[in-house]
Structure 1
């Protein structure tokens, strides 16, 4: 193929597991039908990666006859770095020292807490907790201490470690990561041989996940630098003197030197390249077609085995995955595209079951053996490609061989292919607008029929090289992320300043200022504050600027010189010989997913003499159950679960983490209580020291005049607070009571069941490192529980939006009279049911209801979520639409249909929430906010939980469009539903709702693990 234009040109390369694709684009001819694509090439991916890249680039240069001096840049997308992590290859990974800048905080969950054992053994180096870090509003937790940094460097040197991850609390919100960068500078002054990675360059808020990603990045630095050096060598051999870039997860470019420092940002660049390349080839970037409000754009990349689908945002970039992603079993948080995969490709195996008269397509595939095993190529395996040929939709191989396939098999296979595509497209929809579907990849020919809800299907030119084209045309981004107090300020002026900073950041990275534009603005109000403290995230994107030749050569020289201290891939060094070899099989069993390796049916908790001794498996079950009982709130069960595991692993902890029945207490015994209070956005970043709750309890006991205490009980069983008692039980060597004071999660302290007099009695709170202890004695200083709540909320804001609280101790008599019994057991049974159903593919909802009576209220898909934190806590509403018949068939394994679906109910379900879910009501789908058309089916105090497809609970902060969910309701304890005051405080009236409570059904006391498994003989 000969190019029609005169350039300049850009080359894109995408290295996949099977093939390496390359494309060359004339950037002056992108208005043409071919979008300036002069040539493309596909070659097998080689073991050493770089020789395959060399071949692919050489092929497109030869085909296009482009003069090499007219090539402005080469951009490469590669999976090479992520493979080293997934394979846990010790030859390509390094040990990492971790430094947390955290002051007194974060010790409750140490680094590497949730790494698989093999990766932890390979990567875990010295760990340090140093002064530094920020509060969410930008205040310093503690000033940096240079002496501590110096001592840390000495310890790291003594350990023989050279890779360091620095993680500062709320560092992503610190302008330019000031604390982290200062410590990095101090360390490099002391030892220039260290390789230091700052977490603010890796990910956003969420300390543990960002830290994990930073550790992975530091561990693969040697690999990344060697690989990029090899890429530079290939450029030299190709006689290309232009800059080398690597494509990143979010679809933008980074220069080779930066990629060598931040390789983790390239982990998922392949799918992104395909998606952005598809949009470019379909000309959706022209006239800003992606921004049109009458359609949504999805891209399906069909390969030989799978079809990957992604939603394109108006910016032209893929929608990013929410929350966290797992890489090699490690929970991480960094920019990754949200991609759904279906087992459908050109090589998908087609079978016909004569007994059932049914055709199945996939998920099995012949993969890269398509050209030898498919019928049209003389093989004996019927594939999706054979069905395409038999349908007359393509001429591939020997067309005559496909004619032998029976017509009903062809039609049945086409129907199955259509259903699979419709399902994966429906799952990825971002709204209910009509869909424009772009089909790319070599297997895209399998789309033969119109798809429901799809307005148009587009197969763009060069669709089989969309990934390489996406790399060639990738752009440059700049982003700013900070917190600003908007009260009494000009919000528009602050926003314009942020936009300008984002544009400057993009230009500094190589973008052409003339075409840089703002593509994303996120304004995230902070909870529990009244000064309009808001997190602003602004992203700007622009095309690469066209450099002059002198600057191009200088850039190339800089790229090459960066890596001169690393051996090339031709080195005789033994480590280099093994550099690209596959690792042996590794034990990647998780340190936190204990139930995956046991027979759940046969597992018995350790209960002896009326005492239940808690194991890691028990904690995992309880964590899942507390999530369900959290009714949308209660904080993160996962983080509290990790803290509990750490407490259980401590020397001397054996036998101390235990649970007893409320009847275990004498009337005169003293029972303490404590929990976390504050914003989830803080608890996930400024993780606790692990001493706050115990300190608060100690002070509240002292203040109450007690001299002893025999047990601890949870304030609320829902969410993370349902687990917060266990570390204290180990610390004080006291048992946890099998019960709690709410039977669920509620948003305020007033929602506690003990009501001696009219007050909860005494609330104490202590954060010793934050300027003193604060105690609120409701009997002396507050006229009501509401006043206690208001005072505590004010102090919590001042203390960084997270605090430990402890009420006055309660007597054993009060616990037996007012506590909700057996709720720890209830959480355990629910969690066990969920995990067992996950493994055995049983009906998840039925499994839960065998442990706790309830009702499935609705099965559907979230189509809208609204939030408002202006009142100091999160208010919002979730809208869920019913599934259609095809979706129900493919829903949760064995899932029941909801009452709405059983009666052909077309109404949607709305669920308002105040942190926790308040009520569920059928609503007119055309007017969901018209309360006159609402039919309320469940309200507080009954429990409403939203469960994902895996049966795990989804909290109100995690609700988002497109999630398929089951909504369940469970009856509340009679202390709430059976008393006038209980309904006044915990029912609709307590939340200002003008509706009556309607019983969901009779309450049934939860089973007791202690009663079922007690063995006096053990």
Structure 2
């Protein structure tokens, strides 16, 4: 057994570089094993600051433990840095490469080209062209088309001619391609042609969901050269210090990654800075071992970490495990949507270097977001500079007399008015109180762990009005470095498996063993590795039991059997790493770029007026953004992804000549005998998310029906279902034929089958009906004995077509549409979206805003504690159990054993009913709401969650909304009520239906 073993953690921020030295054998002592810590300014070349910080803690540690050569007992160095992600946030062309994207997709994915949702500034720097090649897989493992070597070679020549040296390869369903038939083979072909090209394959970067995985792959490729150079610099710093131990970087989830792996996948380290601070704070406060805290009166706390750095303040809620609360679903990185597991962190422009400004006319004091960053010792007045900063305010208040030059401090205190100091302190306190309120998840008292070098902005003994307890853990100033030092090692499997004909337990056990081995291979102690998460998510509508399987294993870093070698290196002979300019500080603090897919952020929605002229509503980018949010709320868990349709609509408005053609009219404007066409996406949302359509499938099916029925033209197009992505699919159809979209839909929500459209419930014909895909296949059902039979025939054909296609039913005349349409649902989606966006921006109640526009009520608020899914008759059946939010607001198991009522919501793609249950999910048979009334589950940001997005730990609000009266008749309930889903329960509603407001009527005058 080795003795005197140490680990070093380093965190490189925009202002300061922190280092901490920990005794591995004293981690459970009151001092938490911290032998030494040191804070130094981040240097322009980064590596010098790292070298200085590590050298300082080694010197201090050597003195403390009496070991002159303590460096020979260092087992590892772990570095966390925001350098890579800041290059993207700042759109710094010096540190980003242009990237060519090669999609292996056959005829698919053209609807959404690469870089579609990149902010324009970042896109101009990174975009290096898009190439669509053969290849890619169906969800059942079949090839879409074969990979063509000659086609790859021709593509490489084009990329070379464009002087691009970095390539992102993205194959459809590549996470399913465990044999590497396509992406890896394509990479080998490219390497044979030109070994100098940098190539990144998407299956090593992200999970299923093509666009988010592709975005992450592009970002990873763009930063690759900088990452290699920077990590090489980290290695040079260790050589200068003669440290022969392994070098690690901390990942987004608070675990470790080797330097070699980080150089290949730098995107996995993007969120490591905030995560280090959060895990370090929990460790120093002892929450990693004690779990949820309780006060003397046994009242639980919700614990927030407030990390005040030099430029920003990061706030995160802690789980009792000591890890940060994860962000739900997708995460924006530099304005780009990715699907990484990152902590849910809210940042504001407040730090020790934030500039304090006083308006000469009004005397108003403002703080930040501009910052002097790492130039604090040059620019702040306490160091003789000319900029008034928050650190100056802290010193002038008498809270940090040890900071700064005594002479400069005396001059500051003599010249700075007390009123300015008081106003700045009040502003700082208000900023912190607001961001704490933003992160709280319950009414329980808040315990803040205050860490970071800028924590002097809130002096000891001072607190926030909305905080019950404020604690500065020991070594709080180095919590980020401590978090890096104590990080564990993880191994993860995230793939799609085909379970048909296989024992699911054997498949899961094999995935567990693979995850454990991945953790051990990454450096974890084999005796300590344990499985911390297993999630099995069946894909909707598939017949081969295709299932997304996510398994994660975590263990502490293994202790070597012998001490690492002490390098005998002459520092003067170590080749200096390339200088890389520091990420923050040299520039003014800037807010992150607005994502291209969020145009509503660019306008004042309270003043925004949609364009309505002569009874026609002309759709803008802002309208699309609002409608996308609203269709999610109306989706009741289904309807497919709204995000893709939003991007498609934005792309058409910008590049497709859609302006003036993308328009909406009210149902009464239709002529009785004019024909209205239908067309929507049909299949499994999980497939549609991955095998993105070509964009022409719907119109191909409509054209087939036109030919069969000898139809010349249509007056308008009607949305089949307003819920989810299908609620927006008609916009592109309207643009194609230059006809308007009717303000309404055939369901008033989302339902899992075609025959759930109201016209078919009341006897209107569904056939002839066409099913079409991107490869030119069109399947037409001329007639059937019932709408249910049409659905079964369509579903069988859809499986053969890969479960991602378009369905187009028989066009119907205007008088039928006016009789059976649910009116004004596009308007309803618009009003809902506007309400959510305004409430989110103003930090007011999301549900109050929603119900100011739509009739309904809150059914429950809580945390998802269980999700089960199975495939029955081709449909994803499941149940989600929601517990009341535990008092600590964290990931507390106390909620699961509580006697408080839980809510159980079964779903068949869409949510079927909500009922009270106990903590085990046993129903009390007390119903809260059932179909056809709408049940929607909202995330903390007001965005609706599809049934495929439900996962353990998410904080959610369940709302109910009344369905249209046509669903409440005997015929309507027989199809769309509980009986239509073979449920032996009575219909239970949530109130009387109120017709939605009309945008055309309100804004047309």
Q: Distance in 2 between matches of 1:684 and 1:811?
A: 33
Structure 1 residue 801: deviation in Å? 2.8
* Residues 592, 457 of structure 1: alpha-carbon distance in 2 compared, 3 angstrom cutoff: closer
Cα distance in 1 between the residues matched to 2:70 and 2:560: 17
Superposed displacement of residue 245, structure 1: 2.2
Aligned ranges 1:285-434 → 2 under 5 Å: 300=305, 302-303=307-308, 306=313, 308-312=315-319, 318-339=324-345, 379=395, 381=397, 427=441
Match for 2:976 among 953, 971, 986? 986
12, 16, 34: which one aligns with 2:13 = 16
2:539 maps to 1:526: yes
Q: Distance in 1 between matches of 2:276 and 2:761?
A: 64
Contact 1:622/1:831 (<8 A) preserved: yes
Say if 1:232 and 1:244, in contact at 8 Å, map to a contact too.
Answer: yes
What CA distance in whole angstroms lies between the structure 2 residues aligned with 1:377 and 1:1005?
Answer: 56
The match for 2:408 is none
> Is residue 45 of structure 1 aligned with residue 42 of structure 2?
yes
Deviations 1:114-148 (A, max 9, x none): 11111111111111111112223332222211122
Name 1:897's counterpart in structure 2: none
SS of the equivalent of 1:175 reads: coil
Partner of 1:734: 739
What is the rounded CA distance, in whole Å, between the counterparts of 1:834 and 1:15 in structure 2?
37
Q: TM-score normalized by structure 1?
A: 0.80
SS for the counterpart of 1:537 is strand
Q: Secondary structure at the match of 1:132?
A: coil
Aligned-partner Cα distance in 2 for 1:59–1:582: 28
With a CA cutoff of 8 Å and minimum separation of 6, indicate the structure with the bigger relative contact order.
2
Find the aligned partners of 1:150 and 1:45 in 2 and give their Cα distance. 45
Question: 1:974 — aligned with what?
Answer: 965
What's the TM-score, normalizing by structure 2?
0.81
Listed one character per residue, the Cα deviations across residues 399-456 of structure 1 (whole Å, up to 9, x for unaligned) are xxxxx99xxxxxx99x999999997886299xx9x9999776565998989999x999
- What is the CA-CA distance between 1:547 and the residue it aligns to? 5.7
Shift of the alpha carbon at 1:175? Answer: 1.6
Distance of 2:545 and 2:17 partners within structure 1:
50
Displacement of 1:848 after TM fit? 4.1
| 1:192 counterpart residue number | 195
Q: Distance in 1 between matches of 2:471 and 2:772?
A: 59
1:857 equivalent in alignment to 2:858 = yes
CA pair 8-769 structure 1, distance change in 2 beyond 3 A: same
Residue 56 (structure 1) aligns with = 53
- CA distance 1:471–1:633, change in 2 (3 Å): same
**Secondary structure class of the residue paired with 1:427:** coil
Q: Distance in 1 between matches of 2:392 and 2:848?
A: 47
Contact 1:695 1:766 in 2 (8 A): no
Residue 759 of structure 2 aligns to a residue whose secondary structure is coil
Counterpart pick for 1:238 among 218, 238, 241: 241
Contact kept? 1:173, 1:481, Cα under 8 Å: no
Q: 1:874 to 1:647 in 2, by over 3 A?
A: farther
The residue that corresponds to 1:902 in the other structure is: none
User: Which residue of structure 2 aligns with residue 700 of structure 1?
Assistant: 705
In structure 2, how many angstroms separate the alpha carbons of the residues matched to 1:481 and 1:231?
A: 30
Kept in 2, the 8 Å contact 1:673–1:806? The answer is yes
1:734-765 C-alpha deviation (Å, 9 max, x unpaired): 22222211122122212111148746422634
Aligned to 2:823: 821
Distance 1:556 1:835 in 2: 58
Q: Distance in 2 between matches of 1:236 and 1:966?
A: 53
Give the CA deviation at 1:326.
1.0
Q: In 2, distance between residues paired with 1:174 and 1:267?
A: 26
- CA distance in structure 2 between the aligned counterparts of 1:241 and 1:449, rounded to whole angstroms: 45
| SS of residue matched to 2:694 | coil
Output the CA distance in 1 between the equivalents of 2:181 and 2:70: 45
* Cα distance change, pair 790–22 in 1 and its aligned pair in 2 (3 A): same
Inter-partner Cα distance in structure 1 for 2:707 and 2:817: 20
User: What is the deviation of 1:344?
Assistant: 10
1:842–1:532 distance in 2 versus 1, CA, 3 Å: closer
Change (3 A) 1:138 1:311: farther
Structure 1 position 596 matched with structure 2 position 607:
no
1:317–1:942 CA distance, 2 compared to 1 (3 A):
closer
CA change 1:556–1:734 in 2 (3 A) is farther
1:167 CA drift (Å) = 1.3
Would the aligned equivalents of 2:747 and 2:756 in 1 still touch at CA under 8 Å? yes
Q: Could you tell me whether the CA contact under 8 Å between 1:117 and 1:587 is conserved in 2?
A: no
In structure 1, runs of 5+ residues without a counterpart are 350-360, 387-403, 406-411, 888-904
Among candidates 112, 115, 131, match of residue 112 of structure 1? 115
2:860–2:903 CA contact under 8 A, matched in 1:
no
Q: Is the 8 A contact 1:759 1:785 kept in 2?
A: no
By how many angstroms is 1:930 displaced? 3.8
Distance apart, 1:496 and its partner CA: 3.2
Relative to structure 1, the CA distance from residue 727 to residue 989 in structure 2 (aligned partners, 3 Å threshold; closer, same or farther) is same
Tell me, in whole angstroms, the C-alpha distance in 1 between the residues paired with 2:990 and 2:551: 46
Aligned counterpart in structure 2 of residue 135 of structure 1, from 125, 134, 138: 138
Aligned partners of 1:916 and 1:756: how far apart in 2?
A: 18
Is the CA contact (8 Å cut-off) linking 2:136 and 2:144 kept in structure 1?
Answer: yes
Residue 175 (structure 1) aligned with residue 178 (structure 2) = yes
Structure 1 residues 620, 29: CA separation in 2 closer, same or farther (over 3 Å shift)? closer
Distance 1:1010 1:787, change over 3 A: same
Distance 1:837 1:451 in 2: 24
Query: Is 2:79 aligned against 1:76?
Result: yes
- Counterpart of 1:7 in structure 2 is 4
The aligned runs of 1:244-263 (5 Å cut-off) are 244-263=247-266
- Give the Cα separation in 2 of the matches to 1:637 and 1:137: 25
Are the aligned partners of 2:847 and 2:858 in contact in 1 as well (CA < 8 Å)?
no
Shift in alpha-carbon separation, 1:222–1:1009, aligned structure 2, 3 A: same
Aligned to 2:249, the other structure's residue is in SS state strand
**Equivalent residue for 1:744?**
749
Tell me by how many angstroms 1:376 deviates: 13
Partner of 1:898: none
Between the aligned partners of 1:958 and 1:183, the Cα distance in structure 2 is 31
Among candidates 686, 692, 698, match of residue 687 of structure 1: 692
Distance 1:579 1:593, change over 3 A: closer
Conservation of the 8 A alpha-carbon contact between 1:670 and 1:810: yes
Partners of 1:670 and 1:709 within 8 A in 2: yes
Report the CA distance shift for 1:23/1:826 in structure 2 as closer, same or farther (over 3 A): closer
Q: Distance in 1 between matches of 2:286 and 2:179?
A: 36
Out of 896, 908, 919, the residue aligned to residue 914 of structure 1 is 908
Q: What RMSD in Å do the two structures reach over aligned CA positions?
A: 4.8
Shift of 1:206: 1.7
**Is residue 137–residue 483 contact of structure 1 (8 Å, CA) maintained in 2?**
no
Aligned-pair distance for 1:535?
A: 2.7
Kept after mapping to 2: 8 A contact 1:631/1:718: yes
Deviations 1:199-257 (A, max 9, x none): 22221122111211211121122222222232223223223333322222122323323
Counterpart in the other structure of 2:485:
472
Contact 1:750 1:760 in 2 (8 A): no
State how many pairs are aligned.
Answer: 935
Structure 2 residue aligned with 1:617, among 615, 619, 622?
622
Query: Mean alpha-carbon deviation: is it higher for 874-883 or for 37-46?
Result: 874-883
Asked if the contact 1:265–1:335 (Cα under 8 Å) also holds between the matched residues in 2, the reply is no
Distance 1:556 1:1007, change over 3 A: farther
Q: What is the correspondence of 1:553-702 to structure 2 with a 5 Å cutoff?
A: 568-569=577-578, 581-582=586-587, 588-702=593-707
Comparing 868-877 with 943-952, greater Cα deviation is found at: 943-952
Offset at residue 720 of structure 1 (A): 0.9
